[in-house]
Amino acid sequence: MFRLAHISDVHLGPLPKVSLSELASKRITGYVNWRRNRRKHMFGTALEEIIEEMAETELDHVAITGDLVNLATSTEIETVTQWLEVNFLPERTTLVPGNHDAYVPGALKHAVKAWKPWILAGGEAHGEGTYFPTLTERGDCAIIGISSANPSLPFMATGDFSRKQAKKAGALLADAGRRGKFRVVLIHHPPVEDAASWHKRLKGIGKFQKMIRKNGAELVLHGHTHLDSLHHIATDRGNIPVVGVASASQGPKGKKPNAGFNMFEITGKPGEWHLVHRRYTLNDDGRTVSENTQAPRAATQTPVPVG
């Protein structure tokens, strides 16, 4: 059995002091949003509770699907680097960036350089500049990391999936499939229609789904929406689960679901893979985490064939 945990949208807080020169950009909109909204529900013990609960589970690997920072300042990126060093072993963690990690031009390059050990996770970079797509293999699992992060205009949070990345990631998926691996794809933006609003959408959903249908995959994990969600990509080989997760820092009594993480148990062999999916969610007391067995959109708690 291989146990894979999934968190996303850490938005590590609180915000550090931000200079006027740093605010002279799109960051001003993010700063106002933090002051008015996010700091009320995303600065507390939620993230600590989630990390502690994960540490108590018997997991083999952790997937983090982006948005570790808020405004992508140099101070935030360094703070996240220290947080990663304390909480996650690089060889047992695979990280992909989100739009907040690429909030302004130049930020993504800085972030991926700082977080390289957790991005590569002892695996390989197959892209130029920012490494993506990446490939990490752990036992029977092949984890393909894709970056949809890019600096967008103010009030926009779109992502991009390019033809070049589709070609390289598709080749990785095809090769891993031939070698009998259970293939997990990580991306920040949801690669399905209507999962995010227009100004937060992934540009290139068609290319992503074409890549999946052509080359195969067993599981796709994403963040961005701060929602516990389950969609599927229909293929000739069956429906591929596309699973989202609430923000790992979301405190109780907010507009979005409480913080949580996904846990996947992978067993079987090529052609007969079985996947068990459980959600763990912060309770409204803000201090305990419970297995969520009644979420109406959660994946089944019993083994189901995939791929």
Residue 296: pLDDT band (50, 70, 90) is very low
Q: Residue 286: which pLDDT band, with cuts at 50, 70 and 90?
A: confident
Average pLDDT, the chain: 86
Question: Taking the domain 2-305, which CATH number applies?
Answer: 3.60.21.10
pLDDT at res. 87: 96
Q: For a pLDDT cut of 70, what percent of the chain falls above it?
A: 84
Q: Tens digits of per-residue pLDDT, 47-83?
A: 999 999 999 888 999 999 999 998 878 889 999 999 9
pLDDT digits (tens, 9 = 90+) for 133-161: 999 999 999 999 999 998 877 777 899 99
Q: Which two tokens stand for residue 97?
A: 């960036």
Instruction: With a cut of 50, say whether residue 117 has pLDDT above it.
Output: yes
Q: Tens digit of pLDDT for each residue in 255-284?
A: 899 999 999 999 999 889 999 999 999 988
Contacts of 82 (CB under 8 A, 6+ apart): none
Residue 41: pLDDT over 70: no
When pLDDT is cut at 50, 70 and 90, the band that residue 302 belongs to is very low
